[in-house]
Amino acid sequence: LYADQVTGSMERAMAETNRRREKQMEWNAANGITPESVKSRISDILDSVYEKDHVRADISQFTDSAGAMMGNNLKAHLDAMDK
């Protein structure tokens, strides 16, 4: 925290953070836990995000016999349906 003066709220927040840190260190020591940094590659994180957004859809119903998409020439398809 950065300020010209440490306010009461800041002092209480820092005291609570230190209390929690000490409690965690006691727990770790009692249970034989050695904290370690998380080691993951950024590509692993981003890949999972993009995979969730990836969707495949069957669009064969929207193509004509020549393989052209109906949306490319919608007016012609609508006119053909009216006939």
Res 12 pLDDT > 90? yes
Global confidence as pTM: 0.45
Mean pLDDT of all residues in 36-53? 71
**For residue 70, which amino acid is it?**
M
Mean pLDDT of all residues in 30-38? 92
Measuring CA to CA, how many Å separate 51 from each of 45, 55, 70, 73, 80?
Answer: 10, 8, 28, 32, 39
Alpha helices in the chain (DSSP H): 8-30, 42-53, 74-82
pLDDT-derived band at 53, boundaries 50, 70, 90: low
